[in-house]
Amino acid sequence: MRQHEMEANPSVRAFLTIGTLYSCFFCMLTSNALLSMPILGGALYLAGLTALRLGVMLLPARENLLPKAFRRGFAAILIFLLILLFFYLIYYIPLNTTDFWRLAGIVFCLTLRPVFAWYFMDKGLISQKKTGNSLLCFLFLQVLFLLPLLLLLLSSPLSRGAVWALIGGYLLCGVLESFPPDRMHERTRAFSREDRTELEAIRGAHAYKMYKFMMLFVIAGVQATQVLCFTYIAMTASVLIPCMGIALLCTFAASLAAEAVLRGKAARETDPNFLLMIGLAMWMCALVLFVIFLNTPGSVFSYISLALCTAGATVCARVLIRMEDDMRRAASFTVGHEPGDAIDRAQKLRILLSSLGGQIVSLIGLTLICLFTAQDSPKDWDTVFRSFSPFLTLPALILVGLAIVFTVKFPLTCQHLEKLRRYMEIRESGGENVPLREQLERVVVQKSMKRYGIKAIIWILTPLCYHRVRGKENVRLDKDIPCVFVCNHGEIYGPVVATLYVPFWFRPWVAYEMTDKNEILDRTMNGVFQNVKRGRKLLNAIMGKLGAPFLAWIMKSVNCIPVYHDNPRKLMQTFRETVTSMQAGDNILLFPENAETSADHRYMREGVSEFFTGFTMIGQMYSSKTGKCPLFIPIYANKRKRTITFGVPTRYNAQISANEEKERLCAYLRDEMLRIAGITEAKPAQ
C-alpha cells in the first residue's frame, strides 16, 4: 500500500488491521454469556478465521502469489492447529450441550461475514460505485447474517436484554470490520517472472529487508496484542454493554488519540526512527505493566495499560506507513528504476501474511494454555476457561521484542532518508552525484547498522553537561551546499561540547592519533595526564585496557575523518575524503587551533590560539570540483558561561587568489570567535 492510499482515511486505516478481531471479541462475549467460557469462543473464531484465510490463499488462483515454502509452512500449521483443536474439543468440551452448538453456529456466521464484506467492498471500490450503493450492500450483508444470529440467540436461555445487547455488539463489530486495509480483492494478479526478478533484487537491499521484518512483526504484534486485550476484557468485565465500551476505549479510542498526536507539527518533523522506538517502548512497557496489574482483576490500571498498548501499536503502524514512500525510493535506488506495482502487491501480501501469523500465534497460545494448564478433571477445565493466564501475554511480548530487534538493525537515519530523497530528485532530473550514490549504497544496499551506542552516550551526557545554544539564527544552511563549522578547541572541552550541542548533521575532523587505540594511549598519557605522578602505572593499565579502546570506538561511531598533520601525502587523503563527503551532503566540523603558538604550547581554555591555515584548502578543492562555494561558520564554546555560540558565517571567495583567501578566512573566523568571547572586536567580512 502506498502512503497516499493510506492517508485517505488515516484514523481507520492506520490501526484497523485488527478489523476482524472485533468479531473475535464478540465471539468471546457470546461464549461467556452462553457457557461462561470466553476463551473457547475466541479460540473457535481464530481457528475458523485462520482456516478460512489459509484456504483462500491456497486456492489455485492464488498459489503462484506465494512461495512454496509459505504454502507448505502454512499447511503444516493448519494441520497442527486442527489436531490441537480436535483433542481440545473431543476430550474436554461436552458436545451434547445445545449451547455449544449455538456458539459454533454463531462463530460460523461471524467467520464468513468478513469474506462477504471484503467481496462487497472490493467490488464497490473496483467498479467505483456510488457511496449509496456500497451502503446498501453493507446493510444487506448485515441483515443476511443477522437473521440466523438472531434465531440462535433467541432460542438460547439468555434474557432478552442480553440478546439485544449482543445484537448491538454484532452490528458495531460489523461497522468496525468493514474497512480493513489488509483486504485482497479478486483482481490481485499473480507475479510474473519479471516481477519476481525485480522483487528478488529489491529484497537484496539490506535496508528494505529490515523494514519488511519491522512491518511483519509490528502487524503480527498488533493482532496478538488485541487478542490479549479482548480476552482480558471479556473475562473481567461482567456486564455486556460496559464490556463493549471498555473494548472500544482500549482499542479504537486509544488509536484515534495516538493518531491525533501524530498529526501534530512536532511529530511530523520528528525522526521516524525515533518515533518508532518510542512507540515500541510504550508498547512493551504497557505489556509489562499489564502483567504487573493482573493481580487486581478488573482494575482500571489494567485497562489503561491495554489502551497504552493500542496507542503504542498505532504509533508504530503510522510511522511505518509514513516510511512507505521512502522505502519505495530505496527500492527504486536498488533496482535503478521506478519499481512496478509488484512491490505494492507484495506489500499487501506481506500484511495479510503477518496479520494471519499474529492470529495463528494467538490461537496457539490460547490452545496450548488450555491443554497444558488444566488436568483431567472438568472442574480444572472450568477454572482454565474462566480465569485469565498471564502466559497469554507471551505471544505479544515476543512479537514486540522481535520488532524492536529489527528496528535496531534498520540502518537508515533521518539524514540518510533526506539524502535518499535528494538523490532521487537529482536522478529524476537527469543528473548524477557519484559520492552521494556510493554513500547511499553503503547504507541502503549493503549491510550496515545505526550506531546506537554513541547516541546513548550523547543522550546521557547532554543533560549532565548542559549548555545554552546561541546564535542559531545565524546559520541558514543550503541543502545543495554543505558548510564547514570551525570551533575553538579548549583542550578536550570544545570537541565534546560541539559534538553534544551542534544541532546539525556533521562529520568531524579528528587527529589520526585519536582513531588508533595505541596512539590514543600514548597521546593521553603524555598529554592530558602528563602531570599525574601517583598511580600512573594503574592509570596506564586502565587506559590501555578500557579507556583507549573506548575512545577509539567513539571516534569510529561519530564517523570522523582522520587528519594527518605530519604526513603531507596522507593529509591530501584527508582533504579528498572531506570534499567527497561534502559532495554527498555532509557538513564538516573542525578545530584548527595550533597549540604550539600559545605560551605553554597547550590549547587555550579561554580565547583562541592562532590557526593552522591549511584547512581553508577545503573551500578551494570543493569549489573547483563543484563550482559552488561553501560557508564557513565560526563557533565559540565558552566553558565559563556554559554556552556554545554560532557567529556570523562567511562564504569562500573563489574570485581571489587562494593565498589571499586563506589569510582572509583565518583572520575573519578567529576574530569572530574572539568577538563572541568578548576579547576583541571582529573585523568585517570581505
> Are 369 and 518 part of one and the same domain?
no
pLDDT digits 0-9 by tens, 487-539: 998 777 888 888 888 888 889 998 887 777 777 777 777 766 767 677 777 87
pLDDT digits 0-9 by tens, 434-485: 898 888 898 888 887 667 667 777 777 777 778 889 988 888 888 788 899 9
SS3 call for 234: helix
Residue 12 has what pLDDT? 34
H or E, element range at 470: strand 468-470
pLDDT digits 0-9 by tens, 80-132: 666 556 555 544 555 556 777 788 888 888 877 766 766 665 555 444 445 55
* Phi, psi for 480 (deg, rounded to 5): -95, -15
Beta-ladder partners of 638: 643
Task: Assess if residue 682 is contained within a domain.
Answer: no
pLDDT band of 11, cuts 50, 70, 90: very low
Q: Please say which residue of 410, 429, 461 terminates a domain.
A: 410
Angle between helices 21-35 and 38-57 (to 10 degrees): 140
> Are 233 and 313 part of one and the same domain?
yes
Task: Assess if residue 217 is contained within a domain.
Answer: yes
> Are 89 and 238 part of one and the same domain?
yes
Which of 73-87, 179-193, 304-318, 466-480 is least confident?
179-193
- Name the pairing type of β-strands 506-511 and 561-563: parallel
Residue 84 has what pLDDT? 58
pLDDT band of 608, cuts 50, 70, 90: confident
Vertex 104: Cα angle to 358 and 36 (nearest 5): 85
Task: Assess if residue 330 is contained within a domain.
Answer: yes
pLDDT band of 634, cuts 50, 70, 90: very high
In whole angstroms, give the CA distance from residue 260 to residue 11. 9
H or E, element range at 635: strand 631-638
In whole angstroms, give the CA distance from residue 2 to residue 328. 9
Kindly list the distances between the CA atom of residue 526 and the CA atoms of 293, 513, 514, 555, 599, in Å, as whole numbers in the listed order: 57, 13, 13, 20, 18
> Are 59 and 103 part of one and the same domain?
yes
Q: Which own/partner pairs from 562-565 qualify as long-range (CB within 8 Å, at least 24 positions apart)?
A: 562/510, 562/511, 562/512, 562/515, 563/509, 563/510, 563/511, 563/512, 563/590, 564/512, 565/511, 565/612
Residue 60 has what pLDDT? 52
DSSP secondary-structure letter at 511?
Answer: E
> Are 610 and 478 part of one and the same domain?
yes
> Are 391 and 512 part of one and the same domain?
no
In whole angstroms, give the CA distance from residue 110 to residue 237. 22
* Phi, psi for 632 (deg, rounded to 5): -115, 120
In whole angstroms, give the CA distance from residue 589 to residue 499. 9
The H-assigned helical ranges of 156-271 are: 160-176, 193-203, 206-236, 240-248, 254-262, 265-268
pTM over 0.85: no
Find, among 664, 674, 598, the residue nearest to 635 by Cα.
674
Assign residue 535 a region (left: φ > 0; alpha: ψ between -120 and 50; beta: otherwise). left
Find, among 309, 314, 317, 312, the residue nearest to 393 by Cα.
309
In whole angstroms, give the CA distance from residue 473 to residue 327. 33
| pLDDT of 401 strictly over 50 | yes
In whole angstroms, give the CA distance from residue 266 to residue 285. 23
- Name the pairing type of β-strands 506-511 and 631-638: unpaired
> Are 326 and 351 part of one and the same domain?
yes
Residue 124 and residue 133 in contact, taking contact as beta carbons nearer than 8 Å: yes
Q: How many CB atoms lie within 10 A of CB 448?
A: 15
Residue 315 and residue 262 in contact, taking contact as beta carbons nearer than 8 Å: yes
Find, among 230, 232, 355, 209, the residue nearest to 291 by Cα.
232
Task: Assess if residue 461 is contained within a domain.
Answer: no
Angle between helices 342-373 and 68-92 (to 10 degrees): 30
pLDDT digits 0-9 by tens, 269-288: 777 888 898 999 999 999 99
> Are 48 and 80 part of one and the same domain?
yes
Q: What is the mean pLDDT of residues 225-236?
A: 80
Residue position matching grid coordinates 497442527? 80
Q: How many CB atoms lie within 10 A of CB 284?
A: 19
Residue 9 has what pLDDT? 39
Vertex 419: Cα angle to 258 and 210 (nearest 5): 60
* Phi, psi for 93 (deg, rounded to 5): -110, 130
Find, among 208, 428, 474, the residue nearest to 334 by Cα.
208
Kindly list the distances between the CA atom of residue 330 and the CA atoms of 68, 216, 235, 337, in Å, as whole numbers in the listed order: 27, 18, 46, 10
> Are 298 and 215 part of one and the same domain?
yes
Give the dihedral sign, CA 66/69/70/72: positive
Residue 284 has what pLDDT? 94
Q: How many CA atoms lie within 13 A of 193 on its CB side?
A: 0
Three-state DSSP string of 566-605? CCHHHHHHHHHHHHHHHHCCCEEEECCECHHHCCCCCCCC
| pLDDT of 246 strictly over 70 | yes
pLDDT band of 165, cuts 50, 70, 90: confident
Pseudo-torsion of CA 619, 623, 628, 633, nearest 10°? 0
CATH number, residue 358: 1.20.1250.20
In whole angstroms, give the CA distance from residue 511 to residue 565. 8
> Are 256 and 391 part of one and the same domain?
yes
> Are 89 and 18 part of one and the same domain?
yes
In whole angstroms, give the CA distance from residue 167 to residue 160. 10
Q: What DSSP line would sit under 34-75, residue for residue?
A: HHS-HHHHHHHHHHHHHHHHHHHHTSHHHHTTS-HHHHHHHH
Residue 604 has what pLDDT? 73
In whole angstroms, give the CA distance from residue 576 to residue 616. 13
In whole angstroms, give the CA distance from residue 452 to residue 365. 34
What length is written for the chain? 686
Task: Assess if residue 209 is contained within a domain.
Answer: yes
Residue position matching grid coordinates 488515516? 10
In whole angstroms, give the CA distance from residue 346 to residue 340. 11
Q: What is the mean pLDDT of residues 345-353?
A: 78
In whole angstroms, give the CA distance from residue 356 to residue 350. 10
Task: Assess if residue 460 is contained within a domain.
Answer: no
Residue 121 has what pLDDT? 57
Task: Assess if residue 683 is contained within a domain.
Answer: no
Task: Assess if residue 463 is contained within a domain.
Answer: no
> Are 425 and 406 part of one and the same domain?
no
Residue type, 343: I
DSSP secondary-structure letter at 95?
Answer: T
Range of the domain at 520: 470-677
Angle between helices 131-154 and 160-176 (to 10 degrees): 150
pLDDT band of 621, cuts 50, 70, 90: very high
pLDDT digits 0-9 by tens, 556-587: 778 888 888 778 888 899 999 999 999 998 99
In whole angstroms, how large is the CA radius of gyration of the chain? 32
Residue 610 and residue 651 in contact, taking contact as beta carbons nearer than 8 Å: no
Residue 631 has what pLDDT? 92
Q: What total number of domains does the chain contain?
A: 3
Residue 526 and residue 472 in contact, taking contact as beta carbons nearer than 8 Å: no
Chain-wide mean pLDDT for the chain? 77
Residue position matching grid coordinates 525485480? 198
pLDDT digits 0-9 by tens, 12-64: 343 444 556 778 878 888 887 887 777 778 877 887 777 776 666 665 545 45
Residue 535 has what pLDDT? 74
